[in-house]
């Protein structure tokens, strides 16, 4: 049992024995003692003053004396006003470390066959451009959230919805037909998603030139947009696509396949994957059918122009368009169709959409509509809404080609990691292959950690140079500490020292060692809280604090040079378990940790 629970139960008994009342739920839960005070856990006694009829100090003193007498885990206590600071017996912490050591997957709960099934949707790219920095944050958050939910004993299905149809896709297709001269990724020596992205930018360039010419002839901006021959051709291509035109469909399929091959390579490098991929081209018709079914049941209404709407005024919102007057669908319709397919494919208990905060209204509406259409998880769907990510230079725009491609960013991170590691001597003694692998792990670890350590709800600025620093709150700092501990464990093994074969049960840990063990013991509750509030940043910052604490211990205490064999074995056990929790915690963020650096 956790020490917090032991103290909570003992404090509840104390209140009952001393004052004859049952403590209200939650009032006996201890907190970690602040660093400036002596103690490990602190009990706030203000909730018990009504029952004790005494001053805060006197009440704390009475409860402290009762706990010291009746609870073996409490070694001593001190009172600061209404705060009872408890010193937990060193023997308890030693026992706690042995318990942590016995659990290979400490902090991780395995899912039972009947555990809740949670579906997490992330990535959601368009097939007209490569994945960019914004997608990187989305993918890292979605993948990490999936791992954290799994670690909390849930069954998880990771899904992706690919936006593979619509006017934006036709723009790239039309540009390729007009100016591509039959170019393919193989001929261009380029990944398919990058090649198609070039044509998307090219369309926008020609389109803007056209608008300028039309406006120079006296048209307003709106008139020029309506009259643009390029845009009219793109709309015509979309109409042909929706009508199933064989040639348009052939080009669409060929170009999409180029993009999918590029996406797969990027996902692989980024270390994210999916259990099931859905495609908008396969879900939008199902969405239209579901909306028309809702119309028949009186859940939607049709306007005079033939368009179909949902009236959400009773929910404090407005009216929402679901089918245009020409019968074409909108994004909302596609999401309803995708939801229906997913509900058919999996018995989902909860659906989580990882999508930026500019879509807050969309998901508010989607939740109401899915509930109205009879999806049991509709009302409780979760929009994991996160803030935008920018570069120090500012915002990025796909159409103008000012976006940072995910592939280019990963290349830059790995190159920077290689240079920085070499300068600091971290690659000394490595073979070229080892140096390359370490550079990859460190570069991608820096990128992932820098993004995931930030509260997901906040907007953030990603600074590549700042992220690769072997000091401070960074991925490389944490990775280097893990490698340092692995080096200690290797040297111990070379010297024939195995801490498992030494009886360390009577070693009394020092204050610094107790602080580290207490930090390790907090890991399961941090994982649980990260799952409850959907926040990978809690794990990231917990691991950073653990690493800071360990580095102070490493600096102040001898490990292999310690002459007392039992103390040495105890410190090796402590080090090994810090490394274990670092690896598990970083694994929940999708970050690898090297054994050598």
pLDDT digits (tens, 9 = 90+) for 77-122: 999 999 999 999 999 999 999 999 999 999 999 999 999 999 999 9
> Would you say the C-alpha torsion 530, 533, 536, 539 has a positive or negative sign?
negative
123 pLDDT more than 90: yes
Is residue 385 predicted with pLDDT exceeding 80? Answer: yes
**pLDDT greater than 80 at residue 403:** no
Residue % of the chain over a pLDDT of 90 = 83
CA 478 from chain center: how many Å?
A: 18
What is the predicted pLDDT for the residue at 404?
A: 82
Residue pair 570/509 in contact by the 8 Å Cβ criterion: yes
DSSP string, 363-425: HHHHHHHHHHTT-TTSTT-EEEEE--EEBTTB---TTTT---BHHHHHHHHHHHHHHHHHHTT
Question: Which of these ranges, 39-43, 239-243, 244-248, 490-494, has the smallest mean pLDDT?
Answer: 239-243
First to last CA, the chain: 37
Contacts of 352 (CB under 8 A, 6+ apart): 118, 119, 120, 121, 145, 381, 382, 384, 534
| Three-state DSSP class for residue 31 | strand
Count of other CB atoms within 10 angstroms of residue 568: 21
The arrangement of secondary structure in 3-88, i.e. its CATH architecture, is 2-Layer Sandwich (3.30)
Which residues share a beta bridge with 157? 119
Closest by CA position to 242, among listed 278, 293, 291, 284? 284
Of the candidates 86, 187, 174, the residue with the CA atom closest to the CA atom of residue 128: 174
Cβ pair 311, 319 in contact under 8 A: yes
Q: What are the CA-CA distances from residue 40 to residues 90, 189, 194 (Å)?
A: 11, 61, 55
Alpha-carbon dihedral sign for residues 410, 412, 414, 416: negative
Distance of alpha carbon 201 from alpha carbon 182, whole angstroms? 18
Beta bridge partners of 329: 323
What pLDDT does 589 receive?
Answer: 98
Q: Which helix (H) or strand (E) holds 531?
A: helix 523-533
What tokens appear for 352 in the block? 């989580």
Taking residues 251-266, report their average pLDDT: 97
Mean pLDDT of the chain: 93
pLDDT at position 396, please? 44
Using the predicted structure, report yes or no on whether residue 397 has a pLDDT greater than 90: no
Q: Grade residue 368 by pLDDT with cuts at 50, 70 and 90.
A: very high
Q: Is the pLDDT of residue 402 over 60?
A: no
**pTM metric for this prediction:** 0.91
Band of residue 327 on the pLDDT scale cut at 50, 70, 90: confident
Q: Which residues pair with 161 in a beta bridge?
A: 278
Evaluate whether the domain defined by 279-404 bears CATH number 3.40.50.620.
yes
Could you tell me the residue ranges of all domains in the chain? Answer: 3-88, 165-274, 279-404, 406-588
And the tokens for 251? Answer: 């080009």
What pLDDT, on a 0 to 100 scale, did the predictor assign at position 349? 94
On the 0-12 / 13-18 / 19+ scale of CB atoms within 10 A, 532 is exposed
| CATH number of the structural domain 406-588 | 1.10.730.10
pLDDT digits (tens, 9 = 90+) for 164-176: 998 899 999 999 9
What is the mean predicted confidence (pLDDT) over 465-493? 92
Q: Which alpha helices (H) appear in 49-131, and where do they start and end?
A: 49-52, 56-70, 90-102
Question: pLDDT tier at 390 (50, 70, 90 boundaries)?
Answer: confident
pLDDT above 70 for 207: yes
Q: What is the pLDDT of residue 156?
A: 98
Q: Are 149 and 365 in contact (CB under 8 A)?
A: no
| Exposure b/e, 215-245, CB count within 10 A at least 16 = b | eeeebeeeebeeebebbeebeebbebbbeee
For 171-192, the pLDDT digits (tens) are: 999 999 999 999 999 999 999 9
């Amino acid at each position: 049992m956790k020490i917090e629970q032991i103290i909570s139960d003992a404090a509840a008994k104390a209140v009952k024995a001393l004052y004859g009342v049952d403590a209200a739920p939650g009032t006996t839960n201890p907190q970690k003692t602040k660093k400036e005070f002596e103690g490990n856990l602190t009990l706030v006694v203000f909730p018990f003053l009504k029952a004790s009829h005494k001053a805060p100090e006197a009440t704390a003193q009475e409860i402290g004396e009762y706990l010291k007498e009746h609870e073996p885990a409490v070694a001593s206590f001190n009172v600061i006003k209404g705060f009872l600071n408890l010193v937990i017996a060193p023997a308890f912490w030693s026992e706690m470390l042995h318990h942590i050591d016995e659990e290979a997957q400490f902090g991780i709960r395995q899912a039972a066959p009947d555990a809740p099934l949670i579906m997490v949707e992330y990535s959601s790219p368009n097939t007209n451009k490569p994945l960019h920095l914004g997608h990187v944050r989305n993918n890292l958050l979605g993948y990490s959230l999936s791992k954290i939910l799994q670690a909390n004993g849930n069954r998880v299905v990771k899904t992706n919805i690919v936006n593979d149809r619509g006017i934006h896709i036709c723009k790239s297709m039309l540009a390729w037909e007009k100016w591509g001269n039959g170019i393919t990724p193989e001929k261009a020596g380029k990944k398919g998603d990058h090649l198609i992205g070039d044509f998307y930018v090219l369309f926008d360039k020609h389109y803007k030139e056209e608008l300028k010419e039309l406006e120079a002839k006296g048209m307003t901006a709106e008139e020029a947009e309506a009259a643009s021959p390029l845009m009219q051709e793109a709309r015509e291509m979309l109409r042909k696509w929706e009508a199933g035109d064989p040639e348009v469909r052939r080009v669409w399929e060929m170009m999409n396949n180029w993009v999918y091959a590029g996406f797969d390579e990027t996902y692989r490098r980024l270390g994210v994957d999916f259990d099931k991929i859905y495609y908008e081209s396969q879900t939008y018709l199902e969405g239209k059918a579901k909306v028309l079914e809702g119309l028949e049941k009186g859940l939607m209404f049709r306007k005079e122009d033939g368009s179909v709407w949902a009236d959400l005024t009773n929910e404090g919102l407005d009216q929402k368009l679901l089918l245009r007057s020409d019968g074409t669908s909108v994004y909302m319709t596609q999401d309803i169709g995708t939801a229906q397919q997913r509900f058919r494919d999996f018995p989902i208990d909860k659906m989580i959409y990882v999508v930026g905060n500019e879509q807050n209204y969309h998901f508010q509406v989607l939740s109401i509509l899915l509930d109205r259409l009879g999806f049991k998880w509709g009302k409780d769907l979760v929009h994991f809404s996160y803030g935008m990510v920018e570069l120090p230079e500012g915002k990025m725009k796909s159409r103008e080609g000012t976006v940072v491609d995910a592939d280019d960013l990963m290349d830059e991170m790995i190159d920077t990691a290689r240079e920085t590691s070499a300068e600091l001597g971290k690659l000394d003694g490595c073979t070229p292959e080892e140096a390359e692998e370490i550079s990859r792990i460190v570069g991608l670890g820096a990128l992932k950690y820098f993004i995931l350590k930030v509260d997901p709800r906040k907007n953030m600025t990603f600074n590549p140079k700042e992220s690769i620093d072997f000091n401070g709150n960074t991925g490389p700092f944490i990775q280097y500490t893990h490698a340092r501990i692995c080096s200690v464990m290797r040297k111990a093994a070379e010297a024939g020292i195995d801490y498992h074969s030494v009886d360390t049960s009577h070693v009394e840990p020092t204050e610094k060692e107790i602080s580290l063990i207490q930090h390790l013991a907090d890991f399961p509750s941090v994982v649980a809280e990260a799952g409850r509030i959907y926040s990978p940043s809690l794990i990231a910052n917990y691991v950073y604090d653990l690493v800071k604490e360990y580095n102070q211990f490493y600096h102040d205490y001898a490990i292999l040079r310690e002459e007392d064999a039992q103390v040495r074995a105890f410190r090796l056990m402590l080090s090994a378990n810090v490394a274990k929790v670092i690896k598990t915690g970083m694994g929940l963020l999708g970050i690898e940790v090297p054994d050598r650096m």
